Copies of this chain bind each other. A is one copy, B any other.
Amino acid sequence: MSDERIPETWNGAAPQATPQTVHMSHGSGGRLMHTLITSLFQSHFANPFLDALDDGAVLPALPGRLAFTTDSYVVDPIFFPGGNIGDLAVNGTVNDLCMCGAVPLYLSAGFILEEGLALTDLEEIVASMAEAAKKAGVHIVTGDTKVVEKGKADRLFINTAGIGTIAVQHPMGSRHLQPGDAVLLSGPVGDHGIAVLSQRKNLGFSSSITSDTAALNELTAALYKTRGEAVHAMRDPTRGGLAAVLNEFAGASAVSIQLEETAIPVRPEVRTACELLGLDPLYIANEGKMVVIVAEPASMEALDILRQHPLGREAEYIGRVCSGNPGLVSMHTELGGWRIIDQPMGELLPRIC
């Protein structure tokens, strides 16, 4: 970041009054954008790598293989119980890096702002991003701002991309499930989706549920450290929920997965809201939970590691990877039968993240 002031008075004009909402000029590459960058983004994201005056950040050499990921966030509404689009955008990308077996290090932030967005809302969101980044131990090092006319976006969209260094040396991911593996879940499902839905004007239900948005980097670091080689895959069940993740895993590894319904933690308020809305908690988005596929001999130790961290205190052993029926996810129900857990088909919950 440059300390030199850009002279404000070369053209002799009086300084303009600061607008209270986002104007088209905030995206023009000119003075108003420069002010937005220095007074808002640089002041909140301040770190030695951020240099909004050049075209990108220069980062020190990183050892070993890298993880690289991106996500755009379009959640509606942008503020919801337990968080906002800003901390969601940081935690979501941090978690994607963690799920690749990486230690998250650097994020980019790309903002698409709708003309008319209140600058106080933008500042609150940027402050949340800065706080979430600090908590997760990452730096927001490069960014971009675009403004579109009123009616051409929905207040604010954020893209974050992230870089991390791979911390595990063995092959890991959706293709590496093995029959016999244990399926662990770090906590109750459905909180984020229900928290966002409770704010939708047309649904009209109230709920005490708050989003579970959180960075999982400490949880994954603890797992890598102690039982890294036993972890075959990890994934945070966001869009499409637990059902989508397990279907992808089962398909990619050509295995089947059997779940035990009574073992899957769901908060009573989430269960009630789901019954009210005709939804299934297994298909609802989470933003601070993870599925861990771990070799059976290490399963109890891995579960203990999860439970020792505040974000994994309610972790459970929810199922097992089996051979045969490649791609099939089924659940042994509370009533003693079996239910097929299919991949989500239509759009259950638009713009949940």
Determine whether A268 belongs to the interface, using a CB cutoff of 8 Å to chain B: no
Determine whether A343 belongs to the interface, using a CB cutoff of 8 Å to chain B: yes
Q: Given that A70-B142, A159-B159 are contacting pairs, would A96 and B10 also be in contact in the complex, using a CB cutoff of 8 Å?
A: no
> For the complex, what is the distance from the CA of A162 to the CA of B70, rounded to whole Å?
10
Q: Given that A53-B248, A54-B174, A57-B68 are contacting pairs, would A30 and B343 also be in contact in the complex, using a CB cutoff of 8 Å?
A: yes
Determine whether A58 belongs to the interface, using a CB cutoff of 8 Å to chain B: yes
Determine whether A129 belongs to the interface, using a CB cutoff of 8 Å to chain B: no
Interface centre among A11, A55, A142, A254 (most CB of B within 10 A): A55
Q: Given that A157-B157, A350-B149 are contacting pairs, would A71 and B173 also be in contact in the complex, using a CB cutoff of 8 Å?
A: no
Asked if B28 and A240 make an inter-chain contact with CB atoms under 8 angstroms apart, the answer reads yes
Residues of B within 8 A of A351 (CB): 27, 146, 148-149
Specify the chain B residue showing the minimal Cβ separation from A71.
B144
Determine whether A143 belongs to the interface, using a CB cutoff of 8 Å to chain B: yes
Q: Given that A4-B252, A152-B153, A348-B28 are contacting pairs, would A69 and B55 also be in contact in the complex, using a CB cutoff of 8 Å?
A: yes
Specify the chain B residue showing the minimal Cβ separation from A26.
B347
Asked if B69 and A247 make an inter-chain contact with CB atoms under 8 angstroms apart, the answer reads no
Determine whether A273 belongs to the interface, using a CB cutoff of 8 Å to chain B: no
Residues of B within 8 A of A112 (CB): 72, 74, 112, 157
Asked if A66 and B55 make an inter-chain contact with CB atoms under 8 angstroms apart, the answer reads no
Asked if B240 and A29 make an inter-chain contact with CB atoms under 8 angstroms apart, the answer reads yes
